[in-house]
Structure 1
Amino acid sequence: MSEPFQTGGLPDKRQVAASFSRAADSYDSVAALQRKVGGELLARLPASLSPQRWLDLGCGTGYFSRALGERYGAAEGVALDIAEGMLRHARPLGGAQQFVAGDAERLPLRDTSCDLLFSSLALQWCADFAAVLGEARRVLRPGGVLAFSSLCVGTLQELRDSWQAVDGFVHVNRFRRFGDYQQLCADSGLQLLSLENQAEVLHYPDLRSLTHELKALGAHNLNPGRPGGLTGRARMLALLAAYERFRQAPGLPASYRVVYGILRKEN
């Protein structure tokens, strides 16, 4: 079987890569939502799909690389992530034959080299989603499938609104609008089989539990324009008071808007 990879530099996304590398050892302990969403994405894969080579795009700790390896046992599996720390964690656990550092916007794979691109809760970190779709179209074989889950506007809205009430700075990661996903997928040159978004709400006993989890996932604030330095005690107390307005019987809510997309390359 021919080697599917190309050489070449990666775009400079060192901050995202470093954040998720630091989170590699703690990620699985707090990744209940990530496992649920990835499981839902697996369930949405076409039943007729029988790939010879699959790619887990943004594989993280390799949880779904191992699931794909079990599902498509005879296929060659490739696990790819921008964070070297995640790959170091995933590699000894197996699931894929190859573990590769790479960027979804500039995949180090040859043209028409994969039958399935699976990506769960990774592509929200890509600024150029049109480039991601273009790369998917390039590396997929005819009949191949891109299956992704991502996040859109409405995610962590309670935290965003609470910070807005305190100081107006950017403290929460920005996400695309669902309408942007719709337009970009429609313009991708891939056949859109399904695209929808679903609400997921997690509850926490206090704000510290939420912020600790986001840090353990590596998904705390990575936006340009975020405030520097330590957050003052007065601002933290104001944030706590603002977030308490959202409290429900099960605890403080954290809303997620999850996008699920299935696309196929026709020719």
Structure 2
Amino acid sequence: MSEYIQASLPDKRQVAASFSRAACSYDSVAELQRTVGHQLLQQVPDDLQPQRWLDLGCGTGYFSRVLAPQYAGASGLALDIAEGMLAHAQPQGGAGHFIAGDAEKLPLRSGSVDLIFSSLALQWCADFSSVLSEAARVLRPNGVLAFSSLCVGTLCELRDSWQAVDGFVHVNRFRQFDDYQRFAASSGLQLLSLQTRPETLYFPDVRSLTHELKALGAHNLNPGRPGGLTGRARVQALLKAYEQFRQPQGLPATYQVVYGVLRKASASEVPV
């Protein structure tokens, strides 16, 4: 039987609350999330046979349910900061334990997992060096962290369109790809691969895009975002500005996806 564990959460209530509210609508609009996650899964080393895996930032548990049959016989943990996501995921199974917790301070024992799989979750973590430090701590020797995240350039069309309208922050900010490289290099983990790849979705209109972002729980969460309702004139200006990006497939929304695979050294590789 699946077990639900309540662990202490940091003060990131806004992110957690936004994704909790989106739990029921998330899967209906998560095309990009599924595509990226499956591409990440293909990058996990073929020779890795984990006894225990962790789906870090599991959301609705889609990839927990993918990992379970792929690593049959292994025990699985699913962890997310959004309790609403966990409540949605837990009845569907996949992992043996569902844990409320933060990637920057994992409520797990050191040396307790062989694979950390994290797809499109770590972009919400302000301290990426702590994420990598915690991954290094909880991984066993030869264990692997495979993650996908987002970097600068994500939703550039929406950002540039809003810039033509006003000076407010309307689009989530993400770290530079150089930052991912720098943190990975100083993590103490062996870097197997790190790359960025654009993924573009197309929408018939701007409202379809903003509806999807809200349904995902990934609408604007940045400090400095404008409060209250957006005026009709500004909305019309946004629609006009975004039209310059229209292509035959529709209005593009580009995500700059970061894929990274890191490995913890085996006992024999650790310098004496």
Give your verdict on TM over 0.5.
yes
Counterpart for residue 244 of structure 1: 243
1:89-238 counterparts in 2 under 5 A?
A: 89-238=88-237
Mapped partners of 1:57, 1:108: distance in 2: 12
Task: Supply the distance in 1 between the matched residues of 2:10 and 2:23 (Cα, whole angstroms).
Answer: 21
- CA distance in structure 2 between the partners assigned to 1:79 and 1:209 by the alignment: 30
Are the counterparts in 1 of residues 169 and 222 from structure 2 also a CA contact under 8 Å? yes
Q: Distance in 2 between matches of 1:168 and 1:157?
A: 15
State how far apart, in whole Å, the 1-side matches of 2:261 and 2:23 are: 28
CA–CA distance in structure 2, aligned partners of residues 135 and 126 of structure 1: 12
Any idea what the Cα deviations from partners look like across 1:72-105, whole Å, max 9, x if unmatched?
A: 1100100000001100110011010000000000
Amino acid across the alignment from 2:204: P
Answer yes or no: is 1:29 the counterpart of 2:59.
no
Aligned to 2:260: 261
Which letter maps to 1:132?
V
2:50 aligned counterpart, secondary structure: coil
Q: Which amino acid aligns with 2:159?
A: R
Q: Percent of counterpart pairs with the same letter? A: 75
Q: Distance in 2 between matches of 1:172 and 1:103?
A: 23
**How many Å separate the matches in 2 of 1:20 and 1:249?**
32
TM (normalized to structure 2)?
0.95
Structure 1 length-normalised TM? 0.97
AA aligned opposite 2:101: G
Task: Give the CA deviation at 1:8.
Answer: 6.3
Tell me the SS of whatever aligns to 1:210.
Answer: helix
Q: 1:177-220 deviations in whole A, cap 9, x for unaligned?
A: 11110111001000000000101111100000000000000000
Identify unmatched segments of 5+ residues in structure 2: 267-272
- Give SS of 1:134's match: helix
**Aligned with 2:54: secondary structure?**
strand
State the match for 1:74 in structure 2: 73
> 1:195 is paired with a residue of what secondary structure?
strand
Q: Which amino acid aligns with 1:254?
A: A
Aligned to 2:269: none
Aligned-partner residue type, residue 255 of structure 2: Y
Alpha-carbon offset, residue 11 of structure 1:
1.3
Alpha-carbon distance in 1 for matches of 2:244, 2:167:
18
In structure 1, the gaps of 5 or more residues are none
Give the distance between the partners of 2:191 and 2:165, measured in 1 at CA: 41
Offset of residue 29 of structure 1:
0.4
Where 2:48 maps in the other structure, the secondary structure is coil
How far has the Cα of 1:107 moved from its partner?
Answer: 0.3
Provide, for residues 208-261 of structure 1, a one-character-per-residue CA deviation record: whole Å limited to 9, x for no partner.
000000000000000000001110001101111111111111110000110000
1:65 match? 64
Give yes or no for the alignment of 1:41 onto 2:29: no
